Chain A
Amino acid sequence: MNSSLLVQILSLARRSTLRTLRQPAVMVSALVFPMMFYTINAYGLDAATKIPGFPADSYKDFAFAFPLVQASLFGAITAGSDLARDIESGFFDRLSLTPMRPSALLLGMLAGVVALGLIQGVIFLIMGLLFGVDIKSGFPGMLVLILLTVLVSLGFGGIGAMLALRTGSVEAVESAFPLFFVSIFMSSINLPRDLIEADWFRIVATANPISYLVEGLRSLVITGWDAQALALGFGCALAIVVLSLAGASSFLRTRVAR
């Protein structure tokens, strides 16, 4: 990576982080909503721990993956709609007229997503610990938890970028939000897959990659070091990152093709 590309990426990452930090409403909803849903579920569904075979003593430990995944999704949609807004407003055209490398734009935006994901991950971890969430894998596990969260953010961010670059429309990106939101719930987020009774739901949850992200994150909290869950979690996250970035760069190339 030569120095001018690095300068470009850093400048754009700085910009996308600045604009996120300067919109308190975005920050607050990215932090408050996942936390609110989490606490409601954590206590509302605590009775689920009494189901025979439930893998955790406390539902708040079990559900801790939820705010991490949901917040990553929020961040990705925000970043995606920011990028789409840049395209709509002509800001993207302005940047395209500079000698900036197109990839710098994508990487700059994703650097902003990673920064936000990191901030969210750390804040949620601290809040979770204050709530009394017991992380079985200990301190090293917390670091791995943050790492996986950031990777999930990056993957979702890539999908957001893909949507933005393909459609160039804020509305299109934002209307994809419910779809993502739904796919979080159609996973093993609320119950382990073997305790899902309805066959069709279990099949959907098994096919849904989000289940593996959730199970990877969750294993660090409720199990400790579960090599299989972590391998699946990191594998899925990396696959999403690679595929979405490949898609995003191809759409980017189409958009700046000239």
Chain B
Amino acid sequence: MARDRGIEVRGLVREFRKGPKAVDGIDIRVQPGEIYGFLGPNGAGKSTTVLMLTTLLPPTSGTAIVAGYDVVKEGPQVRASIGAALQEAALDPFLTGREHMTLQAALHGLARKERKTRGDELLERVGLEEAADRRVRGYSGGMKRRLDLALSLVHRPEILFLDEPTTGLDPQSRSALWNEVSRLARDEGVTVFLTTQYLEEADVLADRVGIIDRGKIAAEGTPEELKAEIGRPSVEATPSSREERDRVAKVLSRFGEEIAAQPGAVAVRLDHGAGDLADVVRALDAENLKVTNLRIEEPTLDDVFLEKTGRSLEGAGDEKGETGMEESQG
């Protein structure tokens, strides 16, 4: 299959009437057949970007070419080339899975006979053939996401947008969805643009990762490249007794900056990389400190995020302090 049309974004901006720019001049290039992971905390601008790329929200400025078409000027062509599973599993609780498939297929203009075969084929592929005639109201979160994915594939799109496809799913459903997404890219050459707030997801699934924070791209590259950029692993030591924790911390602080660790343990990012490990052991020994556990850890995407934005990814989106309004009832 000749697929040579990925995604090309230049200087994309989206302003909302109140508040800062949700997306603030980003450039992205996604190669055909690639899985691109768009990583960032809540409110970083991921969903706004996806809405613009899928023609659901007009950009304030900048250009975006999706599958060779301009999202502003050639909306219908873009929509014909893409499939999208958006954040809310947007399903009708009173329709069955199969009825959703039929409706979607009809709206995509599939012939009557093909509507059924294509629907059945996709329901089977996402493992919903048994639940197909039940109403969506009774589906679990994982089933809804799988149906959502199947719906977005009805018209055989060449580019697939998945906005936080596994948020709120249990680990099993999550890995089932990962398998299907990588299969699509590998076997069918579908280009996947995936947003996530999970580091692991980007790490496992994406060929390349873009990190977005406060509407700007903070870093981009393969997960390996990004981690290598930071380069320095960390070491974590668990003192044999609680009283010695402070002393262990003091020794370790000679080798680098202290970072978050497991309860009761001490961790630092090694200033000079893994080569420091032997010195760490010797220094602890010289102070007569016993440790029950000593681990060296390679940098994670969270470290990359921390390095690039000065904040940790986990919880970075909570800064805004969204306060739930108290429910008012009569």
- On A, residues with C-beta under 8 Å from B are 4, 7-8, 11-12, 15, 18-19, 22-23, 86, 89-100, 104, 257-258
Q: Which residue of A lies closest to B96 (CB)?
A: A18
Cβ contact of A19, chosen from B79, B87, B90, B92, cutoff 8 A: B92
Task: Count CB-based A-B contacts (< 8 Å).
Answer: 75
If the complex has contacts A11-B107, A89-B88, are A97 and B95 also in contact, measured as CB distance less than 8 A?
no
B79: chain A residues at CB < 8 Å are: 96-99
- Identify A99's interface contact among B76, B86, B102, CB under 8 A: B76
Closest 3 CB pairs between A and B?
Answer: A90-B90, A98-B107, A19-B94
Residues of A within 8 A of B57 (CB): 258
B204 within 8 A of A: no
A91 touches B91 (CB 8 A): yes
What is the 8 Å Cβ interface bit string for chain B, positions 67-110, against chain A (1 contact, 0 not)? 00001100110011011101110111011000100111011110
Q: Other than the known A8-B106, A93-B90, what 10 A-B pairs have Cβ atoms closer than 8 Å?
A: A7-B106, A15-B95, A22-B135, A89-B91, A90-B90, A94-B86, A97-B55, A98-B104, A98-B155, A99-B80
- Report Cα–Cα, A173/B106, bound state, in Å: 29
Least Cβ distance of A5 to chain B in Å? 10
- Looking at the assembled complex, report how far the CB atom of A96 sits from the nearest CB atom of chain B, in whole angstroms: 7
Flag if B56 contacts A15 (CB, 8 Å).
no
Within 8 Å CB of A4, what residues of B?
109
Q: Which residues of B contact A91 (CB under 8 A)?
A: 90-92
Query: Which residues from chain B contact A15 at a C-beta distance below 8 Å?
Result: 92, 95, 99, 103
Q: Cβ of A93 and Cβ of B56 under 8 Å apart? A: yes
A21 to B82: give the CA distance in the assembly, Å. Answer: 33
Q: Which residues on the B side are within 8 Å of A97 (C-beta)?
A: 54-56, 79, 82-84
Contacts A90-B86, A99-B79, A258-B72 given: A11-B94 contact, CB under 8 Å?
no
Query: Which residue of chain B is the closest to A82 with respect to CB atoms?
Result: B92
A101 to B, closest residue via Cβ: B107
Chain B contacts of A99 at CB under 8 A?
76, 79-80, 107-109
Chain A interface mostly: helix
Interface centre among B72, B90, B91, B95 (most CB of A within 10 A): B90
User: In this complex, which of B58, B82, B109 has the most chain A Cβ atoms within 10 angstroms of its Cβ?
Assistant: B109
Q: Give CA–CA (A86, B91) in the complex, Å.
A: 9
- Given contact pairs A94-B151, A257-B58, A22 touches B88 in the complex (Cβ within 8 A): no
Contact B56 A11 (CB under 8 A): no
The CA of A92 and the CA of B94, in the complex, are separated in Å by 15
Q: Which of B56, B75, B80, B107 has the most CB of A within 10 A?
A: B107
Q: Mark B34-76, 1 if CB is under 8 A from A, else 0.
A: 0000000000000000000011111000000000000110011
B86 surroundings in chain A (CB, below 8 A): 90, 93-94
Closest B residue by C-beta to A89: B90
Q: How far is the CA of A146 from the CA of B106 in the complex (A)?
A: 32
Q: What are the interface flags for B262-287 relative to A under an 8 Å C-beta threshold, 1 for contact and 0 otherwise?
A: 00000000000000000000000000
Q: Are A18's CB and B99's CB within 8 A?
A: yes
Q: Which of B72, B107, B151 contacts A8 (CB 8 A)?
A: B107
Q: Least Cβ distance of B78 to chain A in Å? A: 9
Cross-chain contact B94 with A23 (CB below 8 angstroms) = yes
CB neighbours (8 Å) of B76 from chain A are: 99
Which residues of B have CB within 8 Å of A93? 56, 86, 90
Cβ distance A181 to chain B, nearest Cβ, rounded Å: 18
A202 to chain B, nearest CB (A): 34
Cα separation A100 to B106 with both chains bound (whole Å): 9
Q: Across the interface, do A90 and B88 meet the contact criterion of CB distance under 8 Å?
A: yes
CB neighbours of B103 from chain A (8 A) = 11-12, 15
Q: How far is the CA of A56 from the CA of B109 in the complex (A)?
A: 55
Q: A8-B107, A258-B72 are contacts. A96–B95 as well, Cβ < 8 Å?
A: no
* Interface CB pairs A-B, < 8 A, 25: A7-B106, A8-B107, A15-B92, A15-B95, A18-B99, A19-B92, A22-B135, A23-B94, A90-B87, A91-B91, A92-B90, A93-B86, A93-B90, A94-B104, A94-B151, A96-B79, A97-B79, A97-B82, A98-B79, A98-B155, A99-B76, A99-B79, A99-B109, A104-B107, A257-B58
The smallest beta-carbon distance between A46 and chain B, in angstroms, is 35
Q: A91-B90, A258-B72 are in contact. Are A96 and B56 (CB under 8 A)?
A: yes
Closest to B135 in A: A22
Nearest CB in chain A: distance from B287 CB, A? 59
Q: Mark B98-140, 1 if CB is under 8 A from A, else 0.
A: 0100111011110000000000000000000000000100000
State in angstroms the CA–CA spacing of A258 and B75 once bound together.
7
